[in-house]
Amino acid sequence: MKFTIAGNIVDIFNRSIYPGTLHIADGQIKKVIKKNTGEKRFIIPGLVDAHVHIESSMLIPSEFARIAVRHGTVAVLSDPHEIANVLGKEGVKFMIGNGEKVPFKFYFGAPSCVPATDYETSGAKLELQDIDELFRNYKLKYLSEVMNFPGVIHDDKKIMDKILLAKSLGKKIDGHAPGLRGKNLIKYALEGITTDHECANIDEAREKIGLGIKILIREGSAAKNFNELIPLIKDHPDNIMFCSDDLHPDDLIRGNINLLIRKGLKEGYDLFDLIKASSLNPVLHYDLDIGLLREGDKADFIVLDALKEMKVKETFINGIKVFENGNTIINKIEEKKINIFNCTPLSIEDILVKASSNNIRVIKAYDGQLFTDELKMVMKTKNGFVHSDIKQDVLKIVVYNRYHKAHPAVGFINGFGLKKGAIATSVAHDSHNIIAIGVEDKEIIKAINRLIEIKGGIVVLNDKGYNELALPIGGLMTDNDGDDIARKYQQLNEQVKKMGSHLNAPFMTLSFMALLVIPKIKISDKGLFDVEKFSPVTLFPDIESNEC
């Protein structure tokens, strides 16, 4: 197919904007003619999300693409870590296969840490031979985030063998090292880690850049680091990329990488630096087959009426128009429902906590952050058991193994603000066991058991009954319409806020309470875990025990 398109072309190599016409044939830009045609619109390179877990959108890749192109995103670097924890290699293959059914550029990585730690139960494992197979047979671009940074620092054989494999195949290696500094960071960087998306402050980011690590500025549904890290783009424009990491469906329909450019422009940052972080830098770093508006490039670009607002009018991928004036031109795909749910319903007795002491460890959650703190709190008891206490904003939190028969882990959490009811979800990073919080034990149990009944998703229980979103693919995703899922998810969020929560993204925050590679204290299906000590801890700190 041949066609031409004219407008003001944004040249990120020469940092200029000029009127011109693109001549396109067979998905490629054959000629770029500089000539004023009177067109006021702007043409810029397609946007690239440099690190995302598509599963967090709760949509399969093809449905994710149908929404992402609205925002000018033409490609994503996607780590299928979440589905791999549930279904292993078959989950990764599912993501690849579904993505290939639509005109969108998915660049998948090989998950390096499945499971992330030995202190949780996942549905599958990815061993060295599995990663080798994925690299060789499915042309995966990189080794996904090496979140087992303690293993790198201490030369753990399993993770080091995966790193060596990636190096031998010439693959990039993504990092995940929250708060890592000093000599341990030097060791981590020297092993060939090339990126990090977990910087909490600008000093940490500068130290990592100094060691050759490129910084991904993240603006997701729960973790938002743009405001803290965006000043880096002035002094280090070649070392910055933008990503969303984990973006829930209601946020995805509002925007993607285009919102970071818009925000940066409003704050006075340079247009070319912002677009560079959104396209050129990830294309060069990962050697992606994505066009950048040069002759001979693939015809991957977006059309805007105005640069400042970054409102996309048209999106082209390989010369195919995939979005135009509010309409996505990508077909909807239905998929087979693959999943694992081997747990049985619980009873109240299963989550009772006998008061061995009044002093307990409590997880302190923060809005907009994946980090937590540890609190030591005095709790009142009833009939010899510890329960939720809404006056102190302390709720019972339960993590229940959904893959094998096991006893649930029970802890307590501060920071959710819930005053009534309970919520439960099977989206719980990284192993995606069931995680639930609530005010009354009976409500927590009802929410968990309903989640088991629908084989995964999100359940909200209040005095009016259940409200739920089923996620039948891995307990993480659905092939239903993305806009419908976004509306339903937003409805659930609003319902939880009416139940007392002040969190911007309560389900996203809850899902990360089981992530054992983000400090400080978390909870898995095996119990409380101190990330900094990288070891299990007891609920009652006054009582010494080697058991979690």
Please answer whether residues 113 and 146 qualify as being in contact, where contact means their C-beta atoms are separated by less than 8 angstroms: yes
The three-state secondary structure class of 130 is: helix
Residue 293, sorted as left (phi over 0), alpha (psi -120 to 50) or beta, turns out to be left
| DSSP code of residue 440 | S
Q: Say what the pLDDT of residue 544 is.
A: 52
> Which phi and psi angles does 253 have, rounded to 5°?
-70, -15
DSSP string, 293-328: SSTTSB--EEEES-TTTT-EEEEEETTEEEEETTEE
- Residue 347 confidence (pLDDT) above 90: yes
Q: Say what the pLDDT of residue 258 is.
A: 97
Where in the chain are the domains? 46-289, 348-536
Q: Say what the pLDDT of residue 342 is.
A: 92
CATH 3.20.20.140 fits 46-289, yes or no: yes
Q: Say what the pLDDT of residue 548 is.
A: 38
- Cα–Cα dist 476/29, whole Å: 38
pLDDT tens, residue by residue, 199-241: 989 999 999 999 999 999 999 877 789 999 999 999 999 999 9
| DSSP code of residue 350 | G
pLDDT tens, residue by residue, 168-197: 999 999 999 989 999 999 999 999 999 999
pLDDT tens, residue by residue, 370-410: 889 999 999 988 899 999 999 999 999 999 999 999 999 99
The one-letter amino acid at 315: T
* Pairing, β 47-52 against β 301-304: unpaired
pLDDT tens, residue by residue, 433-470: 999 999 999 999 999 999 999 999 999 999 889 999 99
pLDDT tens, residue by residue, 92-142: 999 999 999 999 999 999 999 998 888 999 999 999 999 999 999 998 999
The mean predicted confidence, pLDDT, of the chain is 94
- Cα–Cα dist 473/129, whole Å: 25
- Residue 302 confidence (pLDDT) above 70: yes
Sign of CA dihedral 190, 196, 200, 204: positive
With b for 16 or more beta-carbon neighbours within 10 A and e for fewer, the 496-512 pattern comes to beebebebebbbbbbbb
Alpha helices in 154-310 (DSSP H): 157-168, 182-190, 202-210, 226-229, 232-235, 249-252, 257-266, 271-275, 281-286
Cβ neighbors of 14 (< 8 A, separation 6 or more) are none
pLDDT tens, residue by residue, 39-90: 999 999 999 999 999 999 999 999 999 999 999 999 999 999 999 999 999 9
Q: Say what the pLDDT of residue 223 is.
A: 79
Sign of CA dihedral 514, 436, 54, 244: negative
- In order of 344, 436, 471, 514, the CA distances from 455 in angstroms are 11, 15, 8, 19
pLDDT tens, residue by residue, 509-548: 999 999 998 889 999 999 999 988 889 999 998 775 444 3
Please answer whether residues 108 and 95 qualify as being in contact, where contact means their C-beta atoms are separated by less than 8 angstroms: yes
